[in-house]
Structure 1
Amino acid sequence: MPFISKIQRQTDYRRFPSSTPIVIDNGASYFRIGWAGEPEPRVIFRNIVQRPRHKVTGETVTIVGDHDVALLRYFDCTRSGPRSAFDNNVVYQFEIMEYILDFAFDRLGADGSKIDHPILITECVCNPFQSRSKMAELLFDTYGVPSIAYGVDAAFSYKYNQHHGVCNKDGLAICPGFMTTHVIPFIDGEPEYKGCCRTNIGGYHITDYLKQLLSLKYPHHMARFTWEKVEDLKMEHCYIALDYMSEARLFQNGTKEAEDKTRSWQLPWVPPPTEEPPSEEEIARKAAIKEKQGQRLREMAEAKRSSRINELENESHGLEFLLKQLEQVEEHDIRSFLSATGYVSRKEVESALLKVTQSLQKAKGEQAEFEEKPDAERFHLLNKPDHECTPEELKMKKRQVFLKSTSEGRQRAKQKRHEEELERERRNQQDEQRRSKNPELYKEQLLAKYKDLSEKVEQRKRLKTNGGQTNGNNISGNVGRGERLNAAQRERMRLLTTAAFDRGKGEDTFGARDEDWQLYKLMSKDNDDDDEGPDADEAELARLTSRLREVDPTFVPRSENGNSQSLETPRTRPLTEEDFRIDLGVERFRCPEILFRPNWVGIDQAGLDEMAGVSLRRLPSKSIELEERLTSSIFLTGGSSLFPGMSERLEAGIRMITPCGSPIRVVKALNPTLDAWRGASAYAASPQFPAQTFSKQEYYEKGEDVVRRYQFRYHVL
C-alpha cells in the first residue's frame, strides 16, 4: 500500500536543471529536503517510519513522518511502533532510511527512481566510516545519484550565522540535538575535529523523562501522555533554571512565585449528568411493569403446578387400576403378570401408590394425614434380645436403633428451637417495655452492654491468638509458638511435659504403668468453656447489634480491630474538572536539567558546561589567547537550545571552569532548527560546491577509499 502523509507533493521538479543540487538535512528528529539556493526547505517531516496493518484487509501500509492520528484507528499499531534509522545520531538502519528517502524524493516531485541531481547531505561530526559508506552505496546504487557531498549540520549552521555576523570565525559551537550533544571548536572558520566532544543526551531524553514524571504523577491519565503531546508540552512550558537548587526550593516551600510559574493543561472533561428523582408517573409505570412480570411468573408457576397434578393423578389412577387387576390374579402368577410393568410384587405397587398419593396431596397443598404407627410397632425389635434374632432381624434392629435415635434427636432440636423462640419473644417484649418507659436510658444500657460484650469477645480472640500473655496495656508481647496456643492446647502441652516427672524422681518412666495411658483420654477432652462460651457471646453480640440498629439508625458497629466502620460500601468520589487538570510545576525545569546533569537519567557523561571545558583541553595547540577567542564566541544551535534560560545557564557554567576574567559570550543561532539546512543550501549554490563532491564513477573505480579519505571544507561560506 502507498505511503500515507499530510504533506503535499511538489509539482516543479522538472523546472530545475540536473546541475541544481538537492540539499538534505538528515537529522535524527526531522528530515528536511529542498533545492540549493532556496531560503526554506520544500519538505519537512519527522524522521520515523511506521508500518501497521489494516484491521479489515490485513494489508500493510507504510507511514513516514507525520500522519493523521484519526486515520490510525483503522490500523493495528500494536506490533509496529515508530522506528528510526538512527542509533543515537548515526544512521545504521538503512532499510528504514530507504523508506524515508523514497518518501522524501516522492514529496519533492521526482517521478521515477533515478535522481539526476547532485546531493549534499548532512551528518553528525566524526560520523563512522561504515555509516558514510553505506549511505553512499544506497544513494548511488538505488537512486543513481551522480555525485554526493557530506557535511556536518552544526558546521553549516555555524558558518551560516557567521556570514550573518552572529558569531566569529573562531568560536565554540555547542549543538544539543535530539539524541546527542556535540561541542565543535572552530579555528579560522574550519572545525577542529580533534577538539570535538560528544555526549549521548538530547531532546529525546528530555521528552522521555518528562513522560515518565507525568505518568508517575498522574497514573490515571497515562494513556493521554503520548509522545507527540509530551513533546509539545516540553517545547511550550519547559525552561532552564539559572540555579536549580534555588528554583527547586521555591516549589518546595510553596511560595507565591512557584504558583505563578506553575502551568496547567486541562484535559477534556464532561460534567456527569445530574440524576433527577423519578416522577410519580415513572414510579407508577415501573410498578405496573413489575406487577405484570409477577403475574406472568405466577401464571407460569400455576400452569406448572397443574401439569404436575395431572401427571400425578394419571399415575395414581394407573396404579389403582393395576391393584384391581392384581386382585383377580393368582399369587403364583403375580410376578409374571407384573414383568411388563417394572414391578415385582403387590407390596411394591402399594408402596408406589402411597408415594404418589403423598406427592399429589403435597402438590395440591393439602396436609397429608397418615396414621403413624406407635413406637412399639415401629421399633418392635428393640426389646428383643440379640440371641433370639435372626441375621435379617439383627440388621433390621440396627436400623431401628438408628431411626429411633434420629427421631428423638429431631424432636429434641425442635423442642429446643421452640423454647428459644419463646425466650426470644419474651426478651423482646421486656426490651420493648423498657424502651417504651425510658427510650434514652434503654439505648444507653444497650450501648454499655454492647461495648462490654464486644471488648470481651475481642479480648478472647486476642487471648486465643497470643496465648493469653499480654502486658499492662493489653498489647501482646512476643508471639512465639507457645503464645499462639489457646488454653486447652497449653494444658495438653503441660500434661505432656510433666508426665514423666510427676513422681519427682527425675527419670523418664512414662508408660511403665497402665494408668499412664489414661493421660491421652484426659488430653482428648474438649474444653466446653472454650467452645460454647464464644459462640454464645457472639450470638448475643449479634442480637445487640441488630437491636441497636433498630433503635438508633445512626449506630455504627465496631470492627474487629476496635475501630468504627461504616456499614455501607464507601462510594467513590465523583470526578471533577480539577481531576482532569495536569499541573506542570517542578517538571518544567527538572527535565531540561539533564542536559547539564546526565547522570539523573543513568548516563554517566559530562554536561554541556563540562563538555566545553573538555573540548578546550583537547585542542592540539592550546594557548590562553586561543581559549579567550573561543569562549568569546560560544555558539548555540540545535533544537534543544530553544529552552528559555539556556544561554544564561551555559554562560554561568562555563564561567566557573574558565580562568577569572576570561571573556565569555554566548550567542544563539537565528533559527536553531533550520540554520543547518539554510547553510547547506547556501554552500550548495556556490560555484565551489562541485569541487567538494565525489562522483559515482570515482566511487565505482576507487571503492570505499574515496569515502574514507573524503573531507569537506567550509571556507567558501
Structure 2
Amino acid sequence: MKYFDCTRSAVRSPFDDDVVYQFEYMEYILDYGFDRLGASSEVGHPILMTECECNPSFSRARMAELLFETYGVPSIAFGIDNAFSYKYNQKLGNCGEDGLAISCEHGTCHVVPFLKGQPVLGACCRTNVGGFHVTDFLRQLLTLKYPYHMANFTWEKAEELKKEHCYVALDYLSELQIFKNNKEEAEEKTRYWQLPWVPPPKEEPPSEEELARKAALREKAGQRLREMAAAKRSQKIVELEKQLSYLEEITEQLDEAEESESTAILGRSGYLSQQEIKSAILKATQSLRKAKGESNGNEEKADASAADKYPLVSVPDEELTPEQIKEKKKQILLKTTTEGKLRAKQKRAEEEALREKQEEQKRAENPELYLEELRARYSELSEKFEQRKRQKVNGGQTNGNHGSSGGVGRGERLNAAQKERMRLLASAAFDRGKGEDTFGMRDEDWLVYNKMSKDNDDDGNDDDESELVRIASKLQEIDPTFVSKSEAVQLTPEPPKIRPLTAEDYRIAIGIERFRCPEVLFQPGMIGIDQAGIDEMVSISLRRLMEDESVKQRLCQSILVTGGSSLFPGMIPRLESGIRQYRPYLSPLKLVRAADPILDAWRGAAAFGASSKFGKQTFSLADYREHGENLFHRYNIVYSL
C-alpha cells in the first residue's frame, strides 16, 4: 500500500467537477479506505463504485484499470449516487417510481428524471455550481470585508459558518431591501462571530520606588553629561591657552624683528598683518575668558569698535602688501555696508516712532474709523502676501495673456526691482572684466550694492510681513474678537490619532452574506458562471423528456431534493417557488427533502450491494480485457433494492 506524505506535496483533489481525473491522488484515497477496512495486500471482494451522471468512458476505464491491476478486485459495478439516494428514499416512501431527483453536490448540481424506477440519463441536466462554490464565495466576501482578519478565514471555518448561518432567501431582492431599509429586522438577522481578543494592559501610575529609581538614573545621566562638558571645557581652555601663547610669541618676534624679517614671519604664521594677529589675540582672549566663566570687561567694547573690525581701512596703501590691499577693499565694502544698514535702521526707527504717534492721535480722535482702517489695511496686506506666495509657487502671468495656456517664462514673472537687480549684476560683471576691480572703493558703491541686494526689493517683502504682524497685534489689542489667519490655521483640529483596538474590531458580522452565498445555486452568474440555476434546470430536464404533459405532471409530483446543499433553511420553498415559474398555471408540484441528504446515497448503494442482483450487474477483469474501453460505452446497471 502507498501512503501519502503530506509534508512533501500539497493536497489536491482528484476530482474536476465530480469527474475523477487525477488517479494518482485517487489511489491515495483508495489506499486509505482499504487500509481501514483491513485489506492489506489484495481486495478479494466485488466493488460498487459510485460516480456522477454521464461519467466519461475514459474515467470509467481508468478507474477499472486501477482497481483490477492495483488491488486485484474480482469484479466491479458503477452506479450513480443520485440514483441510489432516490431508490433508497423510494423504499422509505418519500418519493414514487416516477419522479425527479435534484442533487446539490459538492462541485455540481444535477437534475435526473426517473421513469419506472430507472434514471433517464438522456434528459438529465447539470450545472457546475455546488457547495464548494458557496463556501468559497463566503470566504471571499468575508476576506474583502475584513482584510485585516484574512488569516482567520480558513476553508474549514468558512465551511462551518456556511453550515451554521447561511440560508436560502425565498425572494432574493426582497431580502436585500430588508437589509437596506429595515435596520431593526436586518440586525435581528445578522450573526456575529467574535474573534479572540485580549484587551491591552492598563498603564498603572508608577510607584514611589519607581519614580525614585528613574530620578536616580536621570541624576546619574546628568552627572555624566556634566563631567563630559567639564572635560570638554578643560580641553578647550588648554587649546585656547596654547593658541594665545603661540600668537603672543609671534607678536614678540615681530616686535624684535626688522622689517625685512617681518614678512617672512607673517608668511610662516599664516596671517597677513600684525594688526590681524592682534585681532586674533583679542578673540582668543575673549574665548578663553568665556570658557573660564570670566567677564570680558572692556574687551567687548574694543571688539565692537570699528578699528578692530576693520583694521586695514585706516592704513595707507603704501604700507600694505598686494594681499593686504585686497583685504582692505573687502573691509571698506563691509564697513560701508554696515554703516549704511545702521543709518537705514535708525531712520526706520524714527519713522516708526512718528507713525506710532500719528496713529495714537487718530485712535484718540475717532476709534471706530481707526479700527476700520486697520482692518482694511490688514486685509490688503494679507491678500498681497498670499498672492505673492502663490506667485512664487505657480508663477504669475503678467504678460497680459491671462486666458492662454502654457508656461510663463522667468522674465515675465520678475518684478521691476528684480529686473533692475539683474541689470546691475550683468553690468557689474561686464565692467569687472575690463580691468581692475575697484568696486567698493567709493561711498557711491553702497547705493549700487543696496539696489543689488535681495533684501531691498521694491516689493518690501520683509516690510510687508512685519507690517502685517504689527497690525495684527494692534487689532488684537483693540478688538478681542479678532483672530489672525496664522492663529486660524493653528486652531484647525488635528487629525484624529489611531484609537486602540477594541473587541468590536474583532467581531465579524455576517449579515447579507448569509443568503447571498447560497444564491449562487440559483444565480451562478453572480460568481461568473454562465449556466442555469437549479430551478431552471428542472424545466430544461423536463423539456428534454420525449414524453407528454401528463408524464411530466406525474414527475413533478415526486421531486426528491438530496445532497449537502439541500440542508440550507428555505431551500425547499425557494425551489418550489422557482419551479412554479416554469410550469403551467395550477399544475401539481410536490418537493420533499431526502431522509438523510448526505448519507442516503451510501445507504442506497450499500443496500444494492447486499442484494442478490448485485452480482449480475458487475463485470470482471476477463470482461474488461475482452471488450476494453468499449465495454463502458453502453454500460448501465439496473437500479433495484
Tell me the TM-score range normalised by the shorter chain. Answer: 0.7 to 0.9
Q: Which residue of 1 aligns with 2:440?
A: none
1:286 Cα offset (Å): 3.0
Deviates more, 1:213-222 or 1:478-487: 478-487
Contact 1:636 1:667 (C-alpha < 8 Å) held by counterparts: yes
Q: Secondary structure at the match of 1:673?
A: coil
- Distance in 1, matches of 2:639 and 2:87, equals 9
1:285 Cα offset (Å): 4.1
Q: Which residue of 2 aligns with 1:712?
A: 636
Q: Which residue of 1 aligns with 2:533?
A: 607
Q: Which residue of 2 aligns with 1:23?
A: none
Task: Determine which structure has more spread, i.e. the larger CA radius of gyration.
Answer: 2
1:647 Cα offset (Å): 0.8
Matches within 5 A, 1:347-496: 364=292, 377-379=311-313, 384=317, 393=322, 397-406=325-334, 409=337, 457-458=385-386, 481=405, 489=413
- What is the CA deviation profile of residues 50-70 of structure 1, one whole-angstrom value per residue up to 9, with x for unaligned ones? 94xxxxxxxx356xxxxxxxx
2:217 counterpart of 1:289: yes
Q: For 1:127, give the aligned amino acid.
A: N
Q: Secondary structure at the match of 1:678?
A: helix
Q: Which residue of 2 aligns with 1:512?
A: none
Aligned equivalent of 1:85, options 3, 10, 14:
14
Q: Secondary structure at the match of 2:509?
A: strand
1:401 Cα offset (Å): 2.5
- Distance in 2, matches of 1:278 and 1:455, equals 53
Q: Secondary structure at the match of 1:140?
A: helix
Tell me the number of residue pairs that the alignment of Structure 1 and Structure 2 aligns. Answer: 578
Matches within 5 A, 1:219-368: 219-254=147-182, 256-278=184-206, 282-307=210-235, 309-310=237-238, 345=268, 364=292
Q: Secondary structure at the match of 1:617?
A: helix
1:666 Cα offset (Å): 0.7
- What is the CA deviation profile of residues 608-647 of structure 1, one whole-angstrom value per residue up to 9, with x for unaligned ones? 111111111112x221121012111111111111111111
- Distance in 2, matches of 1:348 and 1:103, equals 98
Q: Which residue of 2 aligns with 1:102?
A: 31
Contact 1:323 1:346 (C-alpha < 8 Å) held by counterparts: no
Aligned equivalent of 2:65, options 137, 160, 165:
137
1:159 Cα offset (Å): 1.5
Q: 1:124 to 1:541 in 2, by over 3 A?
A: farther
- Distance in 2, matches of 1:196 and 1:714, equals 17
Contact 1:239 1:643 (C-alpha < 8 Å) held by counterparts: yes
- Distance in 2, matches of 1:565 and 1:480, equals 39
Q: Which residue of 1 aligns with 2:517?
A: 591
Contact 1:482 1:490 (C-alpha < 8 Å) held by counterparts: no
2:501 counterpart of 1:575: yes
1:146 Cα offset (Å): 3.5
- Distance in 2, matches of 1:103 and 1:255, equals 51
- What is the CA deviation profile of residues 160-214 of structure 1, one whole-angstrom value per residue up to 9, with x for unaligned ones? 2112111112111111222211111111111111111111111222222222332
Aligned equivalent of 1:189, options 88, 111, 117:
117
Matches within 5 A, 1:671-682: 671-682=596-607
Normalising by structure 1, report the TM-score: 0.65
Q: For 1:186, give the aligned amino acid.
A: F
2:560 counterpart of 1:635: yes
Contact 1:466 1:479 (C-alpha < 8 Å) held by counterparts: no
Unpaired runs of 5+ in structure 2? 356-370, 420-450
Contact 1:182 1:197 (C-alpha < 8 Å) held by counterparts: yes
- What is the CA deviation profile of residues 534-553 of structure 1, one whole-angstrom value per residue up to 9, with x for unaligned ones? 6555566678999999999x
Q: Which residue of 1 aligns with 2:423?
A: none
- Distance in 1, matches of 2:158 and 2:344, equals 74
Q: Which residue of 2 aligns with 1:218?
A: 146
Contact 1:167 1:633 (C-alpha < 8 Å) held by counterparts: yes
Q: Which fold has the larger relative contact order, with Cα–Cα distance below 8 Å and residues 6 or more apart in sequence?
A: 2
Q: Which residue of 2 aligns with 1:437?
A: none
Q: For 1:292, give the aligned amino acid.
A: K
Q: Secondary structure at the match of 2:55?
A: coil
Matches within 5 A, 1:13-92: 51=6, 60-61=7-8, 83-92=12-21
1:256 Cα offset (Å): 3.6
Unpaired runs of 5+ in structure 1? 4-48, 52-59, 63-79, 428-442, 470-477, 496-523
Q: Which residue of 2 aligns with 1:625?
A: 550
Contact 2:87 2:640 (C-alpha < 8 Å) held by counterparts: no
Q: Which residue of 2 aligns with 1:122?
A: 50
Q: Secondary structure at the match of 1:175?
A: strand
Q: 1:656 to 1:363 in 2, by over 3 A?
A: same
Q: Cα RMSD over matched residues?
A: 5.4
- What is the CA deviation profile of residues 7-32 of structure 1, one whole-angstrom value per residue up to 9, with x for unaligned ones? xxxxxxxxxxxxxxxxxxxxxxxxxx
Aligned equivalent of 1:180, options 86, 108, 118:
108
1:325 Cα offset (Å): 12
Q: Secondary structure at the match of 2:49?
A: strand
1:404 Cα offset (Å): 4.2
Normalising by structure 2, report the TM-score: 0.72
Q: 1:245 to 1:83 in 2, by over 3 A?
A: same
Aligned equivalent of 1:669, options 571, 575, 594:
594
Q: Secondary structure at the match of 2:582?
A: coil
- Distance in 2, matches of 1:698 and 1:550, equals 112
Q: Secondary structure at the match of 2:192?
A: strand
Contact 1:463 1:486 (C-alpha < 8 Å) held by counterparts: no
- What is the CA deviation profile of residues 299-334 of structure 1, one whole-angstrom value per residue up to 9, with x for unaligned ones? 12223433454566678879999999999999999x
2:128 counterpart of 1:200: yes
Contact 1:628 1:662 (C-alpha < 8 Å) held by counterparts: yes
Contact 2:312 2:331 (C-alpha < 8 Å) held by counterparts: no
1:567 Cα offset (Å): 5.6
1:701 Cα offset (Å): 5.0
Q: For 1:189, give the aligned amino acid.
A: G
1:482 Cα offset (Å): 7.5
1:668 Cα offset (Å): 0.8
- Distance in 2, matches of 1:419 and 1:282, equals 61
- Distance in 1, matches of 2:476 and 2:598, equals 73
- What is the CA deviation profile of residues 495-551 of structure 1, one whole-angstrom value per residue up to 9, with x for unaligned ones? 9xxxxxxxxxxxxxxxxxxxxxxxxxxxx9999999855655556667899999999
Name the structure where helix makes up a greater proportion of residues: 2
1:273 Cα offset (Å): 3.5
- Distance in 2, matches of 1:452 and 1:84, equals 78
1:105 Cα offset (Å): 3.6
Q: Secondary structure at the match of 1:268?
A: coil
2:576 counterpart of 1:648: no
Q: 1:453 to 1:329 in 2, by over 3 A?
A: closer
Q: 1:376 to 1:85 in 2, by over 3 A?
A: closer
Q: 1:646 to 1:380 in 2, by over 3 A?
A: same
- What is the CA deviation profile of residues 57-113 of structure 1, one whole-angstrom value per residue up to 9, with x for unaligned ones? xxx356xxxxxxxxxxxxxxxxx5x5322222222233333333334444444445x
- Distance in 1, matches of 2:330 and 2:208, equals 62
Contact 2:57 2:629 (C-alpha < 8 Å) held by counterparts: no
Q: For 2:633, give the aligned amino acid.
A: R
1:121 Cα offset (Å): 2.3
1:215 Cα offset (Å): 2.9
Q: 1:164 to 1:375 in 2, by over 3 A?
A: closer
Q: Secondary structure at the match of 2:102?
A: strand
